[in-house]
Amino acid sequence: MKTLRVIAILAAASSATAAIAAGTLPESQLSVLDRVGRRLAGNPCAQPTLVRTKTRPNPHDPTIRDQIRLTKCKGWSAEVYRAHSYKPPVELPLVVRVQTAHPAIPPQFGVGASISRVRGELGNPTSKRAGAITYPLSEERPDQDTISFISEHGKVQSIVWSWAVD
């Protein structure tokens, strides 16, 4: 019984080490960041500075009209897709942008954090361009569900979560 437990622990540790070495996010970091973004998208501020809703045809059934709601709050915004093909309709996060420190975001990833600290916590990004690094939020859709840290002078200036809706 002890031997099986030791083998299971070693296998789990080996798997986690391989994931980190491969540059993928450790599951706990991935889950925390994804949950934070989804929570922000689903619970906009009490007093938004702007709420705008656009209607568009459902991509799978043009007879159904879906909605995209943009909510702007002080220092952040969220876009949510409301799919009317479901009964009741389902709200799916599209984009969350944060430009100021926010209490829901762990400080090591928040606006004002050192970009080198972010990289130290998350490992190598899957995408790098001038002033921005991007990580996958899910293994199932690594190029579609992402979080990007935009930096200037070595500090995070904004964070952008993006989720694909098909």
Query: Domains in the chain: how many in total?
Result: 1
Within-domain flag for 3: no
Give me the mean pLDDT over the 92-101 stretch.
Answer: 97
To the nearest whole percent, how much of the chain has pLDDT over 70? 83
Within-domain flag for 99: yes
Beta strands in the chain (DSSP E): 50-57, 65-73, 76-83, 90-98, 127-129, 132-136, 146-152, 155-162
Show the domain range for 95: 26-162
To the nearest whole percent, how much of the chain has pLDDT over 90? 73
Is there a contact between 20 and 26 (Cβ–Cβ < 8 Å)? yes
Within-domain flag for 96: yes
- pLDDT, averaged across the chain: 86
The pLDDT of residue 24:
55
User: pTM for the whole thing?
Assistant: 0.81
Within-domain flag for 147: yes
- The residue assigned the tokens 């190598």 is 124
pLDDT tens digits, one per residue of 16-40: 434 444 555 455 687 799 999 999 9
Q: Report the C-alpha gap between 90 and 9 in whole angstroms.
A: 39
Within-domain flag for 123: yes
